[in-house]
């Protein structure tokens, strides 16, 4: 198939990408706050302001550290989550432009989500605290469960498009979005996004039973970076799903870039709502489900996609 036309945006546009990602992440945090307030019978406006209030409180909070904490590693883990999210969206075409039009953009996204393994573990290791370290290892166990199914879920749209370039995958959905005939791959992808964001049912690495897990010893700006990184990863995952499964910028009336943002925002809202309705899953149970249910299901989905592609000739 012919390559889809996408221009590489100039470096200063990276700032705009960061602002858009930050806006999506803030929107997710505000929606989460509203849902939490409604569940507790508190006025929605209080929940809407909660993320801003927490940010202000953490910025004023004095950093505390344990005796032998490795602050550099701990901060690299927290700040690295935000950087990883930015690098994920760098390959997402917005209209006719992308920050990096890589020939293997799908692999790039997969590499960035693997980088999250190390970053979350570093955040737990750096605090020199047993509970934080257990949280880090919990995340590694969780990652063993979701990573392989997620990798094959990313592969399915690329096989259908015959390309690992994100713009080509989006262009291959002309007339029929991948989500319509790859529902299993889409569902596994969404589960993987929620898992590497350490959110909802996959939040035990930062669970209350561990006094916050990887967040236990993080305070002030360090804790703010970790929390912001989790929402930024969720937003980046929703944005990457648009060219992969949701037709990219295709849609009536609005320009392509507006459709990308609209679809990403709607999927992000759906993930925030759903994650509050699913109970927490223990990493060992998730590992069992990941290898015995998710992996065979997504491999079957990949087989169906391969047969369809071969049938098309």
Mean pLDDT value across residues 151-158: 94
Q: Which residue has the higher pLDDT, 66 or 239?
A: 239
pLDDT, position 200: 82
Q: Could you report the per-residue pLDDT of 187-230, keeping only the tens digit for each?
A: 999 999 999 998 888 888 887 777 777 888 788 888 899 899 99
pLDDT band at 3 (very low <50, low <70, confident <90, very high): low
Q: What is the mean pLDDT of the chain?
A: 88
pTM for this one?
Answer: 0.92
Percent of the chain with pLDDT over 70: 98
The domain ranges of the chain are 9-311
Q: Which residue has the higher pLDDT, 221 or 185?
A: 185
pLDDT band at 4 (very low <50, low <70, confident <90, very high): low
Residue 65, pLDDT above cutoff 80: no
Secondary structure (H, E, C), the chain: CCCCCCEECCCCHHHHHHHHHHHHHHHHHHHHHHHHHHHCCCCHHHHHHHHHHHHHHHHHCCCCCCCCCCHHHHHHHHHHHHHHHHHHHCCCCECCEECCCCCCHHHHHHHHHHHHHHHHHHHHHHCCCHHHHHHHHHHHHHHHHHHHHHHHHHHHHHHHHCCCCHHHHHHCCCCCCHHHHCHHHHHHHHHHHHHHCCCHHHCHHHCHHHCCHHHCCCCHHHHHHHHHHHHHHHHHHHHHHHHHHCCCCCCCCCCHHHHHHHHHHHHHHHHHHHHCCCCCCCHHHHHHHHHHHHHHHHHHHHHHHHHHHHHHC
pLDDT band at 7 (very low <50, low <70, confident <90, very high): confident
Q: Which residue has the higher pLDDT, 70 or 234?
A: 234
Mean pLDDT value across residues 137-162: 92
Q: Could you report the per-residue pLDDT of 81-137, keeping only the tens digit for each?
A: 999 999 999 999 887 788 888 889 999 999 999 999 999 988 888 878 888 888 889
Q: Which of 8-12, 56-60, 264-268, 296-300 has the lowest mean pLDDT?
A: 8-12
pLDDT, position 2: 53
pLDDT, position 72: 83
Mean pLDDT value across residues 32-37: 90
Q: Could you report the per-residue pLDDT of 140-151, keeping only the tens digit for each?
A: 988 999 999 999
pLDDT band at 281 (very low <50, low <70, confident <90, very high): confident
pLDDT, position 166: 93
Residue 9, pLDDT above cutoff 80: no
């Amino acid at each position: 198939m012919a390559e889809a036309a996408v221009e590489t945006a100039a470096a200063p546009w990276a700032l705009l990408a960061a602002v858009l990602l930050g806006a999506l992440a803030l929107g997710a945090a505000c929606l989460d706050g509203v849902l939490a307030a409604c569940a507790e019978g508190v006025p929605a406006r209080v929940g809407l302001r909660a993320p801003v209030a927490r940010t202000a409180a953490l910025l004023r909070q004095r950093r505390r550290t344990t005796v032998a904490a490795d602050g550099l590693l701990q901060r690299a883990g927290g700040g690295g989550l935000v950087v990883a999210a930015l690098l994920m969206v760098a390959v997402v075409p917005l209209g006719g432009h992308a920050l990096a039009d890589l020939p293997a953009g799908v692999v790039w996204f997969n590499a960035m989500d693997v980088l999250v393994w190390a970053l979350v573990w570093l955040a737990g290791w750096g605090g020199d605290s047993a509970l934080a370290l257990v949280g880090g290892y919990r995340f590694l166990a969780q990652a063993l469960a979701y990573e392989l199914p997620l990798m094959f879920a990313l592969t399915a749209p690329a096989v259908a498009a015959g390309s690992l370039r994100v713009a080509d995958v989006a262009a291959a959905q002309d007339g029929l979005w991948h989500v319509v005939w790859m529902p299993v791959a889409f569902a596994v992808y969404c589960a993987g996004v929620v898992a590497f964001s350490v959110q909802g049912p996959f939040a035990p690495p930062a669970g209350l039973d561990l006094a916050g897990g990887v967040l236990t010893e993080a305070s002030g700006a360090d804790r703010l970076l970790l929390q912001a990184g989790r929402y930024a990863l969720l937003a980046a995952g929703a944005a990457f799903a648009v060219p992969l499964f949701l037709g990219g910028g295709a849609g009536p009336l609005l320009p392509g870039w507006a459709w990308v943002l609209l679809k990403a925002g709607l999927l992000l809202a759906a993930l925030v709502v759903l994650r509050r309705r699913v109970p927490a899953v223990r990493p060992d149970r998730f590992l069992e489900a990941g290898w015995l249910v998710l992996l065979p299901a997504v491999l079957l989905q990949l087989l169906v996609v391969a047969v369809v592609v071969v049938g098309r000739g």
